[in-house]
Amino acid sequence: MPTIEVNIKILEKLSGKKVTEGDLEVVKGELQVKGNKAKIEIGDTNRPDLWCVEGVARVMRGYYGKTKGLPKMNAKNSGKKILVDTKLSKIRPFIAGFIAKDIKIDEELLLDLIQLQDKLAENYGKKRKKISVGIYNYDRIKFPVNYKAVDPTKLSFAPLDFEKTVNLQEILKEHPKGIEYGYILHEHKLYPIFVDAKDDVLSFPPIINSNYIGKVEPGSQNLFIEVTGTDHKAVLIAANIFAYSLQDRGSNIQSVVSEYPWKTKYGKSVQCPYDFKEQITFDKTQVENVLGIQLKDNELINILQRMQYDAKISKDTVTVNIPSYRNDIMHSTDVIEDIGMCYGYENLGESPIGSFTVGKLKDESLFSERSKRIMVGLGFQEIMSAILSNKQNLCKKMLLDEDTIEIDNIMSESYSAVRNWVLPSILQCLVKNMHTEYPQRIFEFGEVVIRDGNSLDHTRTVNKLCAGISDISIGYEQMASYLDGLLSSFGLSYTLEKIDHNSFINGRTAKIIVDGREIGIVGEVHPQVLNNFGLEKAVVAFELDADALFHLSNKK
């Protein structure tokens, strides 16, 4: 979830009201105030327009009736152009830029701009892959600017925080940002570069600005903002978000046109800020269908205007104009949710669900409850474990060379494989209790994942029932008795057949067979395994395929 840091005073100045916790409900935000600063966690990952103080304040202004309807973009046409190189069409084809004039850049504003730039590029822009944002000192640029593809070894400039001039390839190797974001360009032979009419470099998108034009400091008065990326719509939305934010901060916005040598979804000449002129229509009854409330036409219009839409209703059809900085309106319900939020969820009231349905547990759940009841009756303490484990515990310490389901992107070695049996969990529990009173009788009824060639997912989730006893003097016969107690409680007749298993002692291990089907193992744990886990007392155990047991006991 995106979290932004804002200056409370600026939020209050922009929203025109004192801000309290509850005010942020309408942006799905959570506010944490610390002195002058506040952290706002924005719940909506699909509304990048809210990831800045101006966006939050804009919603509040509407909600509290200080503005009405669709916020207007008062951009004058600057007549300036960005010329796009056709060679970029397979690399990073889209760019949108605008000029923000007459704004006094101070530390505070600069921080807010950098924060928004960062949130948009990292989060909405998928770590700059989809979009990235550049901010420049407008007064140092000679238009028109060129967005082109170049051989990375043939062009050099001084990137931000670097005194020396280096070529693009060197930037990817040496500059911290090059190292971080170079992955986006590695597959390409040519890299994007952004230069002005004098061939001075603005930036090397999406990696780094130049140390001259691309350096914005407090005191600057005119900015040029640009967004590049692979998704044209996202590029335009991000640029719009920036333009609206700067306009809200008092800047005069001037539009810039991107000239493409090919026809894009939005034409060959695309102006920025871009007006999508998006509309959505829906039947008025939809509001009642979704929210369960009836609104008069004027109430509905009023609510929509408070939520920054322009709206009109004719013959029960509602037509809504959507702001050009919003990314999230796909369906009428997206607008209707805004109506609900404005109305207040707490004001909607509640309705009981009238339909009658029969509740029931899965038979497997009922069987698991029965199994646990019997095990408790036999004097065993139930334990529960994490299902994520590691090969060391599941196989190596158990003297097995088995195949477990491993994790590709592990966070820590301890949780790098999904357990395929439960006995290692039982042993791990016992080793934690070597100074606790004996005998220790414990069991776990839990899920494991095994490979299954017949499954579409190559794997199968299986319930296992595993029990273990540890004591100074304990042997196979005792565990066989408990096993008998369990299986005869299920009315199952079974046979035991001697087997060899690396984790158990030879001659003290048997497989458990019901109806000709092997359903588990019972035996004395091998002393080498005990050593591997650091256990000092003998352990006897059984482990059963509880799903198989369930089907067999159901048959009887």
Identify whether the C-beta of residue 367 lies closer than 8 Å to the C-beta of residue 375.
no
20/357 with CB nearer other proteins = 357
Within 71-110, which residues bind other proteins (CB under 8 A)? none
Asked if 511 touches other proteins (CB under 8 A), the answer is no
Per-residue contact flags (x/-) with other proteins for residues 254 to 293, judged by CB under 8 A: ----------------------------------xxxxxx
Helices (H), 490-556: 527-533, 546-555
Q: Single out the segment in contact with other proteins by CB under 8 A; choices: 31-39, 66-74, 182-190, 332-340.
A: 332-340
Q: Classify residue 69 as left (phi > 0), alpha (psi -120 to 50) or beta.
A: left
Total residues at the site for other proteins (CB under 8 A)?
93
Q: Which of 217, 358, 493, 516 binds other proteins (CB under 8 A)?
A: 358
We find the least distance from the C-beta atom of residue 503 to other proteins, in angstroms, to be 20
Identify the sign of the CA torsion 178, 184, 186, 191. negative
We find the least distance from the C-beta atom of residue 446 to other proteins, in angstroms, to be 9
Q: Which of 35, 262, 353, 477 binds other proteins (CB under 8 A)?
A: 353
How many other CB atoms are there within 10 angstroms of residue 453's CB atom? 7
156/333 with CB nearer other proteins = 333
Asked if 405 touches other proteins (CB under 8 A), the answer is yes
252/385 with CB nearer other proteins = 385
Q: Which of 151, 161, 299, 369 binds other proteins (CB under 8 A)?
A: 369
263/432 with CB nearer other proteins = 432
CA-based Rg of the chain, rounded to a whole angstrom?
A: 33
Pick the closest to residue 180 from 128, 124, 134, 118 (CA basis). 128
* Residue 513 phi, psi (nearest 5): -120, 125
Pick the closest to residue 147 from 96, 78, 212 (CA basis). 96
Q: Which of 186, 198, 262, 356 binds other proteins (CB under 8 A)?
A: 356
Q: Which of 96, 243, 270, 429 binds other proteins (CB under 8 A)?
A: 429
Within 42-71, which residues bind other proteins (CB under 8 A)? 43-46
Q: How far apart are CA 114 and CA 111, in angstroms?
A: 5
Asked if 340 touches other proteins (CB under 8 A), the answer is yes
Identify whether the C-beta of residue 294 lies closer than 8 Å to the C-beta of residue 119.
no
Within 20-39, which residues bind other proteins (CB under 8 A)? 25-26, 28
We find the least distance from the C-beta atom of residue 295 to other proteins, in angstroms, to be 13
310/328 with CB nearer other proteins = 328
Asked if 407 touches other proteins (CB under 8 A), the answer is yes
Residues 6+ apart with CB under 8 A from 162: 175, 211
Asked if 187 touches other proteins (CB under 8 A), the answer is no
Q: Crossing angle, helix 297-306 and helix 332-343, to 10 degrees?
A: 90
Q: How far apart are CA 113 and CA 248, in angstroms?
A: 12
Q: Which of 20, 74, 314, 412 binds other proteins (CB under 8 A)?
A: 412
244/380 with CB nearer other proteins = 380
Identify whether the C-beta of residue 51 lies closer than 8 Å to the C-beta of residue 41.
no
Asked if 364 touches other proteins (CB under 8 A), the answer is yes
290/480 with CB nearer other proteins = 290
Q: Which of 312, 361, 499, 536 binds other proteins (CB under 8 A)?
A: 361
* Residue 136 phi, psi (nearest 5): -130, 160
We find the least distance from the C-beta atom of residue 521 to other proteins, in angstroms, to be 22
Helices (H), 206-322: 232-248, 285-291, 297-306
Asked if 472 touches other proteins (CB under 8 A), the answer is no
Structure-block tokens of residue 42: 């924005």
Asked if 126 touches other proteins (CB under 8 A), the answer is yes
Asked if 179 touches other proteins (CB under 8 A), the answer is no
Asked if 143 touches other proteins (CB under 8 A), the answer is no
Q: Which of 202, 418, 487, 510 binds other proteins (CB under 8 A)?
A: 418
We find the least distance from the C-beta atom of residue 170 to other proteins, in angstroms, to be 30
* Residue 72 phi, psi (nearest 5): -90, 145
Q: What angle do CA 82, 85, 86 make, to 5 degrees?
A: 135
Question: Can you spell out the DSSP letters for 209-242?
Answer: EBSSTT---TT---EEEEEEES-HHHHHHHHHHH
Asked if 432 touches other proteins (CB under 8 A), the answer is yes
